[in-house]
């Protein structure tokens, strides 16, 4: 069993390396979860916490749909969905 795991790991490692190099070269970053950005664990994201997600920090005001100066999980997820769809008409071109 150990040999199978070692073999499988060694076969998958090159793919992981290529994927990470692609992300680095393309300027893309891996998805960031709400919990990773919410450093103080209060359930909302402040502008200061948003700097931990480079694409979010530039679209913070647009993502803050209710204008309260923070992003709740729904606002965060909505902004990520619009980015992944490439909805530049709604959010403006900011990436």
For residue 28, give the nearest of 2, 4, 58, 53 by alpha carbon: 53
Residue 93 per-residue DSSP state: S
Supply the mean pLDDT for the chain.
73
pLDDT band at 60 (very low <50, low <70, confident <90, very high): very high
**pLDDT tens-digit series, residues 20-35:** 444 444 455 555 889 9
Query: 82: which residues sit within 8 A by CB, 6+ positions away?
Result: 90, 91
The pTM score is 0.58
With a cut of 60, say whether residue 49 has pLDDT above it: yes
**Alpha-carbon span 32 to 7, nearest angstrom:** 30
Mean pLDDT of 39-53: 92
Helix intervals (H) in 31-91: 34-37, 47-50, 54-58, 60-63, 73-85, 88-91
| Section 49-73 average pLDDT | 90
């Amino acid at each position: 069993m150990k040999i199978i795991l070692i073999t499988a790991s060694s076969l998958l490692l090159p793919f992981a390396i290529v994927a990470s190099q692609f992300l680095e070269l393309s300027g893309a970053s891996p998805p960031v979860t709400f919990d990773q950005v919410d450093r103080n664990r209060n359930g909302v994201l402040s502008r200061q916490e948003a700097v931990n997600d480079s694409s979010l920090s530039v679209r913070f005001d647009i993502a803050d749909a209710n204008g309260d100066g923070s992003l709740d999980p729904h606002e965060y997820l909505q902004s990520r969905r619009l980015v992944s769809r490439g909805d530049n008409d709604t959010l403006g071109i900011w990436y």
